Structure 1
Amino acid sequence: MRIYLILFFFLSSLSFQGLLGKELKLLTGTFKQEDLKLNLSRDKSWVPYPSYSDRKAWDQLIAPFREEVIAKGDKALDYQWQVVKATDYLEYERSGNRGMMEKPMNENCTALTNLLLAELAEGKGRYIDQILNGTWHMTEMSTWSLSAHLPAFQSSKRSLPQERTHVIDLMAGDVGSLLSWIHYFFRDSFNTINPEISLRLKQHIQQRIIQPYLDRNDMWWQGFELKGNQLVNNWNPWCNFNVLTCLLLIEDNPDVQLAGIYKTMTSVDRFIDYIKKDGACEEGPSYWGHAAGKLYDYLKILALATQNKVSIFDKPLIRDMGEYIAQSYIGGDRWVVNFADASAKGGGDPLLIYRYGQDVHSTEMMQFARYMTDLGGKGADFKPSRDIFRAFEDLRCFPQLQHTQAALPQNAFKWYPETQFLYLKKGGFFFAAKGGFNNESHNHNDVGSFILYQDQQPLFIDAGVGTYTKKTFSDDRYSIWTMQGAYHNLPQINGTDQAFGKEFKAENVLFLPEQNKFQLDIGNAYPKTANIEHWNRSYRLTADGLTIEDEFKIKNPNQSNMVHFLVSKEPQINKGVIAMGDGLAALHFNPAQFVASYEAIPQDDPRLSQVWGERLYRISLKAKSIKSTGKYSFIIKKAK
């Protein structure tokens, strides 16, 4: 039955090309199912980590972090496994609060991860009973999925777990993967206690992860049955990686395993085909580790299980996707280019970046990884999470990272022509701007917006996103201020802000590298009611600063245009000049054209305040006259 459920998928002809553009099929176009069958290891010999009983190998592998791993394991010996109550799931419906359910679930996973690593580090059996308690507790749960994700996959469309329905979201997949590794390492130990333990664990992984994946094609992240405005984002490689891990470690039926793995390859091709071919991550650096980084994890474990025979690490797109994280780094206090929902601080996980760089032969990535570990003089951190595969891989690559030279990318610009991201560096400035459209993954209505840093300090910014709630991914998303064009570095035209939808996009986008100039028409990013014939905006960066020029034509305008700028420090407004960045630079404008004002925006959301402090500021330049045609010019200069 399981084979038949999956085979129909490969015989169908889904019109995916029409949805996402030209298909590459880097995996299934390169490797057929027979290729996978020929090269797939039929036992667990592909696993690159020592067996639990190989104490000498584990002592060597975990040596740099052994004390801290043991300390965390000892702390978890007395951990009380938390019950996720029915009201915790319901809280998401009642108030939009996700944390009520996610907090105990995350803490349980953290404790289980720490116990697993401590037992592998010590090997004396001290943690086995508590690992058993944690795994047994997981099998007692109604679902491994998060309350915020359940409605999308259950027929009830509710956040309370639905009887006899198992769905795969990010958390369920992570738990399935974690438990698969626990089964792999401790099955014999569990069998010594009672064979029912490992048998039960295996059955639950099959019932909750493997079987739903084989049976269903309607989970949107699979990319098989997309509807309307649905996108293929980081969920795809993330969930497929977890399913692949479970299939490799748990599934014993070779035919089911083979068909299931090839289905994951077909699904991951949907993600690769969706990604712009310039390699940029439209979700931003904060999501790189979940998007390109998770694709890397998927490709890595697939390569390991096939003796590196089923591998696409040689494809330029995979390398470009990796190097995006280094290119997007600004500097200073870990500032990064943060369009969409990404945070303005980050830079990525150095050990992940290093491993990725190794496999795609990117010196840029490996040197950037070492640069990140050297920040603050602390060296590389070992921060294991429920994503235990990454923890194991971190242990393997850590010694190699120590012998790598630290460096940042030295290129003066980076242009992503399909995603329409541009980064320019000159005279101590780091400028980034975007074109694109207003239905990108984790979208903000921000076509044509920009950010500008001087001497690695923020001047003009993108706020990012606050703490996720029910509203964040609902029809009310654009009632949140951080998502709106009015709180980006954009004009409000004829009283109208940009609109959401794939049809609201940049046109005539052009980068002129010899002039350090980026230009585009953003008029089509606004609704028809604004009566915009065109709004041509250009940016030109020099060693002295940035010049912004707007030229527009509006049919029968009835409201004044307003040009907004979001800044990180309180500005000081004088006639035609606005000082900003604690005196770093000044914005010059024509006082005959505009009335200037600014407002403070309190940051009471911890996800924003931990980046920006207590408040941000929005500068508003209101046109003094209503005109159907006109030109505006704004010049940002270094302070003298």
Structure 2
Amino acid sequence: MWGSRDPETVRAILAEADADRHQPWPRTLLSDYARFWRDGVRTAYENPAGELRRRTSTAVLAAALTAEQAYVDEAADGLMLLCEQTTWCWAAHESFATARGEVAGDPDEPYLDLGAAETAEILAWADLVLAPALDERVRGLRRRMRREAGRRVIRPFLTDRRWHWLGLAGRLHNWNPWIHGHVLAAALFLEDDPQVRLEVADLVVDGLDRYLTALPADGGCDEGYAYWWNGPARLALALDVLDRVTDGAFAPWSCPPLAELARYPQRVALGDGWYVNVADGSARPDPNQPWHVLHRWGRRHDDPEVMAQAAAHRDLPIAPAAGLGRALLGLIDDDWRTAAKAELPLPKSIWLPDVQLFVARNDSGLTLAIKGGHNDENHNHNDVGSFIAALDSTPVLIDLGQPTYTALSFSERRYEQWVVRSEWHNVPVVNGQEQRPGARYRAEDLVASENSLALQLAGAYPAAPGYRRVATLDDAIRIDDEWAGSAVQHVVIAGTPLRHEAGRLLVETLAGGIAELTWDAGLGTGRLEERAVDDPLLEGVWGPTVHRLVIDCTGTAFRLTVRRGERP
């Protein structure tokens, strides 16, 4: 069907599908599902469930691209396996089972979460592009797909409005556009009753509008860059579908703050695959994102820098793992297919006052990022006032980012995890106390200029009177702190310490550059600690160890300077 389009992408998809066919299908087992309640492990079930969705999506794409019966049969096998799963909900979200004191999902009481929405999306887009082939090869499968999507997703969406992600009685986050977009596809492509389709579409528009209205006017994302792809970018895809099915009558692209939201990835890019990360965001996320979504977004607003941000990644293939609907829309996007690879636009300085994020770059390869905010943000870490320092795009004073999710991750025990505590961010312990979680713990009196951010951090701690931080980038990065009382500075480091002496530390960055950290030599060497990184997600970014520099401050002022150094 699309064999003439982007031969490299077609070859990559077919190669992936062919490799899959030599492997057994993933199995989703109750014993793995139950581990969430037994020992807190989520990945034992979520990984094979995700692999089943990925493999099915790849097979659907291969069948659509070639119309070959072998690929159609492979796609049908995957679609049926999805239909036969007892539950599409991930264990961590299965509050219905938890309320019953059970570990098995009940088919008569389906929970509409991300997993259910993701699965329905695959069935919906598969039906759209493979309907004749499925009817010819596996008659009856499409009826089963409609039944399962209807009872697990469409009816719960219409009849139960208690879902927390609707935002009717609480905060809004990435679940809202992520699920709404998939429910829309399920209704449009799988629901036979036009009245039901209309009712779903009306509720989806209402839900997306609620999310859009709640977004900050500056185009920031408090969940960070990695979650931007599953929040604002999911919103953009849903709006794209609505725009197509209404033949442009919906006209959503003029709504604020869509134009600003599209600029967020370029504003937080460090280069070479690294990004300014906050909260549960990775500093080095998978680069193979659906960049065509951003490119279309930029075209809608005639924004050359947004289009350039996307086109800087034009050489990456369209990945089925990013979503079947995303992949299919990318394959038919002729403007994306013919876009020339561009240079990555990196703004000299940005200040997002609503999410309180500041990023500045200088001509010698240094980048400073610092956040204000509060400690009740989505995916919160206790990190008000924390900063990142990068040399030649590579972070050296870091935010660790997202650990592998477990039962602790979103529980009342969240802050038992070392990576979310303030003592493992680049902020001090003041008067013996770390920052606390909660919206009351926040930055105040922020003053931004082109190359600096000053902020009052007294309110981020239980007791830190007079604590003020000023972060500046000129020929070097300078962090100046003043407070009343005692403080112990913490600086989290990626790379290899090379030389450590009073007032000075040389670090070889992960990219091989040399960063020099200096402070008042009268404060001594500080204590350089090494910590093993035993989490696979974190190790994939930072390697097997990270370091922390701990400096006891006896005065009321502290300055840390970071500049390019020389190898000893």
The two structures have a TM-score, normalised by structure 1, of 0.83
Deviation at 1:433, TM superposition (A): 0.4
Contact preservation (8 Å) 1:174, 1:386: no
* Aligned counterpart in structure 2 of residue 325 of structure 1, from 252, 265, 269: 265
Deviation at 1:122, TM superposition (A): 1.7
How many residues of Structure 1 are paired with residues of Structure 2 in the alignment? 559
| Whole-Å separation in 2 of the counterparts to 1:550 and 1:104 | 48
- 2:313 is aligned to 372
* Aligned counterpart in structure 1 of residue 453 of structure 2, from 509, 518, 527: 518
- 1:632 is aligned to 558
1:160-205 per-residue CA deviation (whole Å, 9 max, x = no partner) reads 2024111221121111011112223333444445653322221111
**Unmatched runs of 5 consecutive residues or more in structure 2:** none
Contact preservation (8 Å) 1:436, 1:447: yes
1:480 aligns with 2:417: yes
* Aligned counterpart in structure 1 of residue 297 of structure 2, from 336, 356, 372: 356
- 2:242 is aligned to 302
- 1:536 is aligned to 468
Deviation at 1:408, TM superposition (A): 2.7
| Whole-Å separation in 2 of the counterparts to 1:131 and 1:595 | 61
1:467 aligns with 2:398: no
- 2:536 is aligned to 606
Which protein shows a greater Rg? 1
Deviation at 1:345, TM superposition (A): 1.1
| Whole-Å separation in 1 of the counterparts to 2:96 and 2:261 | 29
1:232-291 per-residue CA deviation (whole Å, 9 max, x = no partner) reads 111110000000101111223222221211111111222222221111111111112111
| Whole-Å separation in 2 of the counterparts to 1:75 and 1:538 | 53
Q: Counterpart of 2:565 in structure 1: which amino acid?
A: A
- 1:7 is aligned to none
- 1:151 is aligned to 95
- 1:311 is aligned to 251
* Aligned counterpart in structure 2 of residue 564 of structure 1, from 460, 465, 490: 490
| Whole-Å separation in 2 of the counterparts to 1:104 and 1:454 | 38
Q: 1:192 to 1:633 in 2, by over 3 A?
A: closer
Q: 1:639 to 1:125 in 2, by over 3 A?
A: closer
Deviation at 1:119, TM superposition (A): 1.5
| Whole-Å separation in 1 of the counterparts to 2:275 and 2:21 | 39
| Whole-Å separation in 1 of the counterparts to 2:333 and 2:484 | 57
| Whole-Å separation in 2 of the counterparts to 1:429 and 1:506 | 25
Q: 1:223 to 1:593 in 2, by over 3 A?
A: same
Name the SS for the 2:248 alignment partner.
coil
| Whole-Å separation in 1 of the counterparts to 2:490 and 2:545 | 17
| Whole-Å separation in 1 of the counterparts to 2:277 and 2:71 | 42
- Taking only aligned residues, the RMSD between alpha carbons, in angstroms, comes to 2.2
Q: Counterpart of 1:587 in structure 2: which amino acid?
A: L
- 1:246 is aligned to 186
Q: 1:224 to 1:584 in 2, by over 3 A?
A: same
| Whole-Å separation in 2 of the counterparts to 1:338 and 1:300 | 27
1:237 aligns with 2:167: no
Deviation at 1:400, TM superposition (A): 3.5
Q: Counterpart of 1:598 in structure 2: which amino acid?
A: L
**Unmatched runs of 5 consecutive residues or more in structure 1:** 1-54, 374-378, 555-559
Query: Equivalent residues in 2 for 1:47-58 (5 A)?
Result: 55=1, 58=2
1:196 aligns with 2:121: no
Name the SS for the 2:180 alignment partner.
helix
Q: Counterpart of 1:249 in structure 2: which amino acid?
A: F
1:114 aligns with 2:58: yes
Query: Equivalent residues in 2 for 1:138-537 (5 A)?
Result: 138-151=82-95, 155-156=99-100, 158-192=102-136, 195-226=139-170, 231-332=171-272, 334-346=273-285, 348-373=289-314, 379-385=315-321, 387-397=323-333, 400-404=336-340, 406-427=342-363, 428-513=365-450, 516-527=451-462, 530=463, 532-537=464-469
Deviation at 1:452, TM superposition (A): 0.9
Q: Counterpart of 1:288 in structure 2: which amino acid?
A: W
Contact preservation (8 Å) 1:166, 1:212: yes
Deviation at 1:339, TM superposition (A): 1.2
Contact preservation (8 Å) 1:573, 1:596: no
1:495-553 per-residue CA deviation (whole Å, 9 max, x = no partner) reads 1000001111111111023xx221111111112xx3x22311111210x2022221213
| Whole-Å separation in 1 of the counterparts to 2:394 and 2:83 | 49
Q: Counterpart of 2:128 in structure 1: which amino acid?
A: Y
Q: 1:130 to 1:635 in 2, by over 3 A?
A: closer
1:553 aligns with 2:493: no
Deviation at 1:389, TM superposition (A): 0.9
| Whole-Å separation in 2 of the counterparts to 1:181 and 1:482 | 38
Deviation at 1:362, TM superposition (A): 1.8
Name the SS for the 1:431 alignment partner.
strand
- 2:40 is aligned to 96
| Whole-Å separation in 2 of the counterparts to 1:455 and 1:75 | 37
Q: Counterpart of 1:356 in structure 2: which amino acid?
A: W
1:75-95 per-residue CA deviation (whole Å, 9 max, x = no partner) reads 444654444222121111111
Contact preservation (8 Å) 2:216, 2:257: no
Q: 1:59 to 1:497 in 2, by over 3 A?
A: same
| Whole-Å separation in 2 of the counterparts to 1:618 and 1:534 | 25
| Whole-Å separation in 2 of the counterparts to 1:420 and 1:153 | 39
| Whole-Å separation in 2 of the counterparts to 1:271 and 1:155 | 28
Contact preservation (8 Å) 2:371, 2:387: yes
Deviation at 1:440, TM superposition (A): 0.8
- 1:35 is aligned to none
Deviation at 1:366, TM superposition (A): 1.3
| Whole-Å separation in 1 of the counterparts to 2:98 and 2:207 | 21
- 2:503 is aligned to 576
| Whole-Å separation in 1 of the counterparts to 2:432 and 2:198 | 58
Contact preservation (8 Å) 1:153, 1:167: no
Contact preservation (8 Å) 2:493, 2:548: yes
| Whole-Å separation in 2 of the counterparts to 1:586 and 1:94 | 46
The two structures have a TM-score, normalised by structure 2, of 0.93
- 2:30 is aligned to 86
Name the SS for the 1:458 alignment partner.
strand
Deviation at 1:103, TM superposition (A): 2.6
| Whole-Å separation in 2 of the counterparts to 1:219 and 1:163 | 18
Name the SS for the 2:546 alignment partner.
strand
4+ long deviations beyond 6 Å: none
Q: 1:104 to 1:570 in 2, by over 3 A?
A: closer
Q: Counterpart of 2:516 in structure 1: which amino acid?
A: A
Q: 1:594 to 1:219 in 2, by over 3 A?
A: farther
| Whole-Å separation in 1 of the counterparts to 2:521 and 2:76 | 71
Q: Counterpart of 1:564 in structure 2: which amino acid?
A: H
Q: Counterpart of 2:310 in structure 1: which amino acid?
A: A
| Whole-Å separation in 2 of the counterparts to 1:322 and 1:223 | 23
Deviation at 1:61, TM superposition (A): 3.5
Q: Counterpart of 1:569 in structure 2: which amino acid?
A: G
Deviation at 1:417, TM superposition (A): 0.5
Q: Counterpart of 1:424 in structure 2: which amino acid?
A: A
